[in-house]
Amino acid sequence: MSETFRATRGKVVIKKAQLKNKTEYGIIYAERENDLIKVGQVAEIGDPDILKNGTTVPFDAKIGDWVMYSVHKGFYGFGEFDVVSQSDVWGIVDEGTVVK
């Protein structure tokens, strides 16, 4: 991501996926995007989250993985990036996955 930015403990920075809005025949359309569930590529991962009992929770995804994530709470948008809690990442998906 950047040498001047580092995600904090329990956070992950995700580069938002760009929606495709053009068919193979050149027809441009407006694709509706789900407001609460998004897909993007992991750009930066903070240190693992620590539970109240002291247990460290490892993060399964790695930088470059495509993930599905929720933006309902603890979400911060920053340009083309979203910063969410590691627990808001639901799973690893294929590149180009669209959630409608």
pLDDT at 96: 75
In a domain, 75, yes or no: yes
Please say whether the dihedral angle defined by the alpha carbons of residues 12, 84, 3 and 54, taken in this order, is positive or negative. negative
Instruction: Report strand pairing: 89-93 vs 56-57.
Output: unpaired
Which residues, listed in sequence order, are joined to residue 13 by a DSSP beta bridge? 44, 83
Q: Are 77 and 15 within 8 A, CB to CB?
A: no
Domain span at residue 86 reads: 11-93
- Percent residues over pLDDT 90 in the chain: 38
Find the CATH number of the domain harbouring 32: 2.30.33.40
Which has the closest alpha carbon to 69: 38, 48, 42?
38
Strands 89-93 and 49-50: unpaired
Answer whether residue 68 is part of any domain. Answer: yes
Give the pLDDT confidence score for residue 8 in this predicted structure: 86
* pLDDT score recorded for residue 54: 92
Residue 5 falls inside a structural domain: no
* pLDDT value of residue 52: 92
